[in-house]
Amino acid sequence: MAIVSQQITVGTTIVLLAQGGDDGSSVSITNKGTASMYVGGADVSTSTGYEVVAGSALGADLNAGEKLYGVAAANQLVHILQSGV
Q: What is the pLDDT of residues 26-85, one digit of tens each?
A: 999 999 999 999 999 999 999 999 999 999 999 999 999 999 999 999 999 999 999 987
- Please state, in angstroms and as integers, the Cα–Cα distance from residue 26 to each residue in 12, 41, 46, 49, 71, following that order: 25, 16, 24, 19, 20
pLDDT at 17 over 80: yes
Residue 85 confidence (pLDDT): 77
Domain 3-83 class in CATH? mainly beta
* Global pTM value: 0.94
Q: Are 64 and 26 in contact (CB under 8 A)?
A: no
